[in-house]
Amino acid sequence: MATTAAETARNYIGGEWVDASGDETFETTNPATGETIGSFPKSTVEDVDRAVEAAKEAYESWRLVPAPKRAEILFRVGQRFIDRKDELTELMVREMGKVRAEAGGDVQEAIDMTYYMAGEGRRLFGQTTPSEMPDKFQMSIRMPVGVVGAITPWNFPIAIPSWKITPALVCGDTVVFKPARDTPMLGARFVEIFEEAGLPPGVLNIVHGGGETVGTALVEHPDVPLISLTGSREVGVQTAKNAAARLKHVHLELGGKNAIIVMDDADIDLAVEGILWSAFGTSGQRCTAASRVIASGKVYDQLSSRLVERAEAMKLGDGLEDDTDVGPVINRAALDKIHSYTEIGKDEGAKLLTGGEIATENGLDKGFFYRPTVFADVDPGMRIAQEEIFGPTTALIRATDVDEAIRIANGIEFGLSSSIFTRDVNRAFRAIRDLNTGITYVNAGTTGAEVHLPFGGTKQTGNGHREAGQAALDFYTEWKSVYVDYSGKLQRAQIDAVETPAP
């Protein structure tokens, strides 16, 4: 599938690019310009069935491939990501809307994750423990589970598929991949690279289409025991319900309403940089975006004035232009949702310091651009301080001390990422201990996770599983405990345990 101005794409099932069973299609477009990038099939339940059958058949041989050999394919995949990084970066700018530097970072994250998980092919450690019985050996080992349904979002269209698919493959599972409808071309390119690297047919399949059809069919399919989904809380709850009847393993990465705490002893210049990057990077379209800033009263005014000055200097535009700071949001629905929260904030009594507008000048009306938006005098209970906006909007909240700041930060339904700017090591460690989130940064923003540590959150951000790091392997494998008795007689565990000698 060569890169062209506009393509007609297909599904990839059983090692072949195939037409969908139906005739309906949808288009993917550039959110900065409205340019049509490609046409994709609205796949049906029948297409999902074909892909699952291919993955199920491939699983029987793939699980028997030694893990180091599975890893060798991933190493080749990683090299191909490197070779095609520029191509993927430019496509991501065009299809998703990130500025070039951020798009390159997305691809780099997939490179890092692929190499990391390839390294796990020579580990996949279990444990050995001493038995309480004589002449008996015992150990635990990881076992693959089967077919994984990987359902990914549009905001990290190369990185997040790598988080789900590379650990699944190195563990010996096979995958049916449903990319987001807003970024299907990047999903297709992702799968092409595995095909080029020599992944056997059926081990990785891609089916395009909507969540209501393809996603639901994957979640409910009797031959898909594992579902990994990144999306909204509402979709996550429905996914868990749909999978419950078959007791499937379900991994959910859902929403965030992340806070940066700025104490009175903070480096204000550094804090402003961290807020700008965390609140307005990727146009605020990250689950780790900083949509709240909780500032000490002593630095609140200074911080807000500097933040407004810097936000107003940010240039909106096409991410392919080198001087662009903020690209478009993904589509019209997202733009309308973001603007609706501006109106909600004003109605609630928050003070709009800057932004709050759909940008239309200098050709921006061809895309979906929203000005970086800062609210002040925000009460922690306001909707703009509680609900995920998923756009370039942040809310400034006052706090008198670190204890109040932590209480405010924790006073939401989500628990993904958090941050504190302070020079006081005692405050920093109290925040590390008391912030109820899966990720905490000290003197950095709320974004910037690395692939060798677990990624995920507490409370309603997910259901307790983690992506990345060795923790990811726990979702894609089952533990098996193995006992080898070489005593030559039946030993009945605790019943026949040797008594401890008397002192």
User: Among residues 95, 120, 220, 287, which one is catalytic?
Assistant: 287
Any catalytic annotation for residue 287? yes
Strand, helix or coil for residue 423 = coil
Provide the token pair at 200. 């056997």
Check if the beta carbon of residue 198 is closer than 8 Å to that of residue 77: no
Using the structure block, give the residue that is written with the tokens 């733009």.
335
Locate all alpha helices (DSSP H) within 298-353, ordered by sequence: 300-312, 332-348
CB 449, CB 439: distance < 8 Å: yes
3-state secondary structure (DSSP) of residue 315? coil
Structure tokens at 197: 């690297």
Residue 128, SS3 per DSSP: strand
Q: Is 35 a catalytic residue?
A: no
* Rounded distance between C-alpha atoms, residue 235 and residue 229, angstroms: 9
From the list 253, 361, 387, 450, the catalytic residue is: 253
Distance, in Å, from the CA atom of 286 to the CA atom of 291, rounded to the nearest integer, reads 10
Identify which of 199, 168, 174, 204 has the alpha carbon closest to the alpha carbon of residue 77: 199
Q: Which of 242, 238, 70 is nearest to 167 (CA)?
A: 70
- Mutual angle of helices 184-196 and 67-83, in 10-degree steps: 120
Q: What is the Cβ-side half-sphere exposure of residue 331, based on CA atoms within 13 angstroms?
A: 11
- Record the tokens describing residue 155, joined without a space: 């905001």
Four-CA torsion 274, 277, 279, 280, nearest 10 degrees: 150
- Residue pair 239/250 in contact (Cβ under 8 Å)? The answer is yes
Residue type at 54?
A: A
**Residue type present at position 226:** L
The count of other CB atoms within 10 Å of the CB of residue 300 is 20
Residues 6+ apart with CB under 8 A from 384: 341, 344, 345, 348, 350, 375, 378, 393, 395
* Torsion of the alpha carbons at 286, 288, 291 and 295, rounded to the nearest 10: -150
302 token code pair: 């200074």
Give 231-289 as a DSSP string: S-HHHHHHHHHHHHTTT-EEEEE----EEEEE-TTS-HHHHHHHHHHHHHGGGG-STT-
User: Which single residue is written with the structure tokens 């990130």?
Assistant: 98
The torsion region of residue 454 among left (phi > 0), alpha (psi -120 to 50) and beta comes to beta
Q: How many helices (H) and strands (E) would you count in the chain?
A: 14, 24
Which residues participate in catalysis according to the annotation?
A: 253, 287
